[in-house]
Structure 1
Amino acid sequence: SDLRSYLQDRLPDYMIPSYFKELDILPMTPNGKIDRKSLPDFEIEASSSYQAPSTATEERLVSIWSEVLKLDTSIIGTATSFFELGGNSIRAVHVINLIEKEFNIKIPIKLIFEHTTIKSLSIKIMNFKTSTREEIPKIKLKANDKYITSSAQERMFYKYLQNTDSLAYNISGAYKISGVLDVPKIKETLEKLVDRHAVLRANFALSNIGVLQTINTTKKVSLTILEMDKYAHLDNVYLDFVKPFDLESELPIRFALLPVDENTNILFVDVHHIVCDGISLNILMNDFKELYQNKASVAPDFNYIDYSYWQNNLASNLTNQKEYWLHQLSGDLPVLTLPISGSKESADITIADFKTLGITDQDYKDIKRFLVQSDVSEFMFFISIFYILLQKLSDNSDIIIGTDVIGRTHPRFQDVIGTFINILPLRSNVDTETSYQIFLDDIKENVLNAFENQEYQFDEMISELSKKQEVVSEDLVSVHFAFVNYFEGEKEFFIEDLKFESLHLIKDETTQYEFKIEVSEHQSEYAVKFIYSKELYDSDIIQVFTEYYYNIIKSVLHDPSVLIGQIEV
């Protein structure tokens, strides 16, 4: 209790550990770091504020939260907020899908934000009637057969045809592997991984009925062995490895291995976004671990082709969602005017650069405390600051910011590899006579409503809007926001005697938008990444943007009741 009291005087509540154990000495690795794997287990006792589940429904919800939040059930009290325990918008979606599987009911995401504790949520969900999800037909895959694509795949393939040399849709990374590596076993594991998920063997072609895909059954994924002495630096290897894909004839995923010495190798991976999204990266890594260790694992019941046909059939049942978006985008659509230095007509916006704003220490703590007090997610907070920044820069009050949603609205597709994202044009009015707190509440409502209507595809919105006025997607959504919280893998992990460590290597920055903010969180720090088209923006003006953004954060944290028009940048 003395230790807890000491920390309470110096840290906000959410940063105080729930449990303590005294050790005589901390176990260390040979490199002088704390050996976390050797830390002893200990019996966890509930804290004084812990409230145990008292009903069967509460117990089932505790199990669901435990699975999503990766927490022991013994520390999830029924009166503790989902967001205090580490919940966010992405995890809320996972909770909703598990609730649907467990209780056979479909609840809106808004319910998680309005009833943030298990005690409150359990009462509300009992008022929902059980629902029956439609059966998903399984498509039998055959060599050389042609299959329809999803909306996201079709959108990306058209972008690909416009510039086949672009790297804007490449998702790439590298892992340092320490230990004696069995190269044939790595190659075999990667082959099994790609064989398991048919979409990783897809090829695409344009036909008279749209974009179609076939599953390549003849080509095996290769593991290219690289030579270090050909490169001056590891970053040069990475830049040379990441290349455009030929989506019409080659596999949309590739791997390479760079032997550094007998105990060190670098594994590179490059995959096209048309077959993979952020959630898929988690699935791929988990499958890789299991396959490498020959663990018995069950392949997903459905594949991405099943999803494509399900989504196509779903489109005719989205009348309410269609009406929602047409109402949101009714009237004259806003055109955002930012201080650019180039010409949009002639610019190749995909060539990009970035600046990063780091938010640490007391600022980080203040944001965390504010989020809990306001019952909003990090996504909602940071995008609200983005709206205010854009209003200050453009003097526009009617603003559309694009964002991606994970799109896995059916629980049957949670473990399927593929690209499920949809683009949502979030339109908000930034009234300078409104206080920030009221504006944030409006943003919360707007975001939750948009998420509830996320199955209506962006391309369909553009098609419907074009019937009344000339609209192109680049004009409707020229700026974009993302909070990167989908990746749940560890930066370091072990598979048998091998240590895998994710590397951060320099690569050519690309973008699909003229200006984008991407926020991520790691080790008690927010990294706010300002990604911009080099042909439209100068580095100096982006530096000013970062300073303005930070000043807005400081202002609203200091006084959430401040009028937006009175916020000084």
Structure 2
Amino acid sequence: MTSATAIEVRELTASLRLLGVRLRAEGGNLRVEAPSGVVGPELLALVKKHKDALVRVLADGEADRVGTQLRRLTEVPRDSWPLSEVQERLFYPQFADPETVDYHITGLYRIDGVLHVERLENAFRAVIGRHEGFRTGFGWAGGDPVQSVHPEVAFELERAGPAPFDPRELGDFVRPFDLARPPLLRGRLHTVGPARHVLLVDSHHLVFDAVSWPVFLADLRRAYDGQELRPLSPAAKEYAAWQRDLATPHMARLGRYWEELLTPDPASKGTAVPTHPGLALGEEEVRSVRRALEGSTAASIRRFCRQHVLTPSMVYLAAYTLALQDLGGRSEAVVGFPVDVRADAGLSSVIGPLVNTVLVRAAATGSAGRPCTVREYLERIRSQVTSAIEHSHYPYDAMIEAAAARRNVREDPVVDGFFNYTGIDAPQAPDDLFAPVARESAALPLLPCLSSRYAATLIVAEEPGLVRLEVERDSTQISEQTCRRLVDTVTFLVTELIADVDRPLGRLSNGLAAVTGCG
């Protein structure tokens, strides 16, 4: 495989992963599982072109190497396990405020037709038996937080009704968990009528994340249908222990990548950004600003991505990084985004907080004094995303702490902002038994970062007929006016990026013209 082919295969694999496409090698053949409409002719042609290389990569993949190390950890009996850094970030504020429900993840599902309630309750118990995270309790040992798995826990499905159901009024369903007493999962069946029910599911982010939903629903349906669910091992606790050992050669190699990526660049400093004058530091007040793109624009972006072997998330991320550079008069932007680490650790069927935050560092300036074009910038984003995914097992907190040690974070923060994308093709229930009920869901608190310039997160959510762009902000660090300017710039740049890929970036806005030095 030539170096050019290797790069193309790396970027193709990353693009497919972000689109929700799963590849697996079976007896020398390549199997592709993809959401409907995601793989267009251009992408399919690339998959066929690099079929042999993809099979080789999958046969000798990261998942096998990491999975082998995780299985070794299961061979040593332990009473308790360390928390992952993601779990620690959730555990400490939850412990400090036991009554908060900010870290809960709640789902509502409509069930039409005849329902066997006892079978459903037993299906919950089977899922809890399969996924040890639900049987995990959290406490302290030697002054450090730890997690311990219980062999069995009691579970009862709550019941309500018959009565009308309003998804905006959940009553006492979402209430604090006792972290020391699992399961950290509850369910309630609200009966609306003889053949209409709503299933409410609530779990804690310590043992569950958004990517866990399709796994949970698939296993719940399998158990409801009478299929046997066997316990999974290794699981999230082994991954947490493995990820925390930064001294291993594997982690040291990953750490060197992030150290190099986050080396400070004195030339990138820009202007100050207005902060909120009315709040003292520590008085966190999160607000959001929303905009919407029409469905036709989303369709145009998808067509553009199929033509240029990109993903929609890469286009929105490119617009966001450019908007941050435009906002602060900086020649680069560092943005964090979440990556599901299950597949690369052999944990695709595991429920748990198995998402890590990784970073891209994108500069709008060209090389050798030549202006950077839209095409080059999008290719730069694709390459950065690919490398970030390949190094995604290194803990985010460790990246930030190492980078912060080499700079004055008050004057030169490490991260400019955060980004989260949910496509319309995100996995849903495996069939029509559990139909999602749309409701206004509370977002999790902003990702804590000891060195964030804006403490803002751009959330892009594709919905039928539109794309919702929302910037969540910490108003101690960014004013509402600045936040509105940021989301408006992103909205403008998204359409500009797909209009002409050969246009210099400096011609997209006055702010970028100043950064790139071209007009």
TM range (shorter): 0.7 to 0.9
Secondary structure in 2 matching 1:237: coil
CA-CA distance at 1:297 after TM superposition:
4.8
Q: Is the 8 A contact 2:271 2:330 kept in 1?
A: yes
Asked if 1:388 corresponds to 2:322, the answer is yes
Alignment root-mean-square deviation, CA? 3.7
Secondary structure in 2 matching 1:173: strand
Q: Of residues 293, 307, 311 in structure 1, which corresponds to 2:225?
A: 293
Q: Is the 8 A contact 1:281 1:487 kept in 2?
A: no
Partner of 2:141: 207
Partner of 1:45: none
Partner of 1:38: none
Secondary structure in 1 matching 2:220: helix
Normalising by structure 2, what TM-score? 0.78
CA-CA distance at 1:521 after TM superposition:
2.9
Matches within 5 A, 1:270-309: 270-309=202-241
Asked if 1:566 corresponds to 2:499, the answer is no
Q: Is the 8 A contact 2:138 2:148 kept in 1?
A: yes
Q: Is the 8 A contact 2:289 2:487 kept in 1?
A: no
Deviation sequence 1:101-155 (CA, Å, 0-9, x none): 76699xxxxxxx999623321343577797473452263798x921223332233
Partner of 2:489: 548
Q: Give the whole-Å Cα distance in 1 for the aligned partners of 2:58 and 2:196.
A: 56
Q: Is the 8 A contact 1:402 1:480 kept in 2?
A: yes
Q: Of residues 245, 263, 269 in structure 2, which corresponds to 1:330?
A: 263
CA-CA distance at 1:304 after TM superposition:
2.5
Q: Which amino acid is the alignment partner of residue 555 of structure 1? A: E
Structure 2, unmatched stretches of 5+, are 1-10, 31-41, 448-454, 511-519
Partner of 2:347: 413
Q: Of residues 201, 222, 227 in structure 2, which corresponds to 1:269?
A: 201
Partner of 1:526: 467
Secondary structure in 1 matching 2:200: strand
CA-CA distance at 1:387 after TM superposition:
0.9
CA-CA distance at 1:509 after TM superposition:
4.1
Deviation sequence 1:31-65 (CA, Å, 0-9, x none): xxxxxxxxxxxxxxxxxxxxxxxxxxxxxxxxxxx
Q: Give the whole-Å Cα distance in 2 for the aligned partners of 1:325 and 1:213.
A: 29
Name whichever of 445-454 and 336-345 sits farther off. Answer: 336-345
Taking a change above 3 Å as real, the CA distance of residues 200 and 179 of structure 1, as seen in their structure-2 partners, is same
Q: Is the 8 A contact 1:168 1:350 kept in 2?
A: no
Q: Which amino acid is the alignment partner of residue 155 of structure 2? A: V
Q: Give the whole-Å Cα distance in 1 for the aligned partners of 2:460 and 2:201.
A: 23
Q: Give the whole-Å Cα distance in 2 for the aligned partners of 1:370 and 1:448.
A: 19
Deviation sequence 1:362-414 (CA, Å, 0-9, x none): x2232122212222112211100001111222222232111111112545311
Asked if 1:483 corresponds to 2:421, the answer is yes
Partner of 2:156: 222
Partner of 1:55: none
Aligned length: 466
Q: Is the 8 A contact 1:224 1:255 kept in 2?
A: yes
CA-CA distance at 1:328 after TM superposition:
0.9
CA-CA distance at 1:313 after TM superposition:
5.2
Bigger radius of gyration = 1
Q: Which amino acid is the alignment partner of residue 279 of structure 1? A: V
Partner of 1:247: 179
Asked if 1:154 corresponds to 2:83, the answer is no
Taking a change above 3 Å as real, the CA distance of residues 216 and 439 of structure 1, as seen in their structure-2 partners, is same
Q: Is the 8 A contact 2:132 2:231 kept in 1?
A: no
Matches within 5 A, 1:409-488: 409-410=343-344, 412-431=346-365, 433-469=371-407, 476-477=414-415, 479-485=417-423, 487-488=426-427
Q: Of residues 42, 47, 53 in structure 2, which corresponds to 1:124?
A: 53
CA-CA distance at 1:212 after TM superposition:
1.0
Q: Is the 8 A contact 2:135 2:184 kept in 1?
A: yes
Q: Is the 8 A contact 1:422 1:454 kept in 2?
A: yes
Secondary structure in 2 matching 1:380: helix
Taking a change above 3 Å as real, the CA distance of residues 409 and 258 of structure 1, as seen in their structure-2 partners, is closer
Secondary structure in 1 matching 2:393: coil
Secondary structure in 2 matching 1:186: helix
Q: Which amino acid is the alignment partner of residue 307 of structure 1? A: Y
Q: Give the whole-Å Cα distance in 2 for the aligned partners of 1:257 and 1:535.
A: 41
Q: Is the 8 A contact 1:511 1:533 kept in 2?
A: no
Matches within 5 A, 1:90-105: 91=20, 94-95=22-23, 98-99=24-25
CA-CA distance at 1:269 after TM superposition:
1.0
Q: Of residues 293, 298, 307 in structure 2, which corresponds to 1:358?
A: 293
Secondary structure in 2 matching 1:532: strand
Matches within 5 A, 1:360-379: 360-361=295-296, 363-379=297-313
Q: Give the whole-Å Cα distance in 2 for the aligned partners of 1:549 and 1:412.
A: 36
Q: Is the 8 A contact 1:282 1:487 kept in 2?
A: no
Taking a change above 3 Å as real, the CA distance of residues 552 and 465 of structure 1, as seen in their structure-2 partners, is closer
Q: Give the whole-Å Cα distance in 1 for the aligned partners of 2:95 and 2:28.
A: 45
Q: Of residues 417, 427, 432 in structure 2, which corresponds to 1:494?
A: 432
Q: Which amino acid is the alignment partner of residue 290 of structure 2? A: K
Secondary structure in 1 matching 2:168: helix
Deviation sequence 1:488-531 (CA, Å, 0-9, x none): 124x9434xxxx32111234444314321122334464333333
Q: Give the whole-Å Cα distance in 2 for the aligned partners of 1:483 and 1:234.
A: 24
Q: Give the whole-Å Cα distance in 2 for the aligned partners of 1:141 and 1:521.
A: 44
Secondary structure in 2 matching 1:234: coil
Deviation sequence 1:217-274 (CA, Å, 0-9, x none): 4642332224577x99431226x43234332344322222222222222211111222
CA-CA distance at 1:349 after TM superposition:
3.9
Deviation sequence 1:324-365 (CA, Å, 0-9, x none): 10111112686995444356753544644452413312x223
Taking a change above 3 Å as real, the CA distance of residues 562 and 345 of structure 1, as seen in their structure-2 partners, is farther
Taking a change above 3 Å as real, the CA distance of residues 288 and 568 of structure 1, as seen in their structure-2 partners, is same
Taking a change above 3 Å as real, the CA distance of residues 115 and 469 of structure 1, as seen in their structure-2 partners, is farther
Q: Which amino acid is the alignment partner of residue 295 of structure 2? A: T
Q: Is the 8 A contact 2:110 2:196 kept in 1?
A: yes
Taking a change above 3 Å as real, the CA distance of residues 256 and 148 of structure 1, as seen in their structure-2 partners, is same
Secondary structure in 2 matching 1:413: coil
Taking a change above 3 Å as real, the CA distance of residues 114 and 320 of structure 1, as seen in their structure-2 partners, is farther
Q: Give the whole-Å Cα distance in 1 for the aligned partners of 2:58 and 2:490.
A: 45
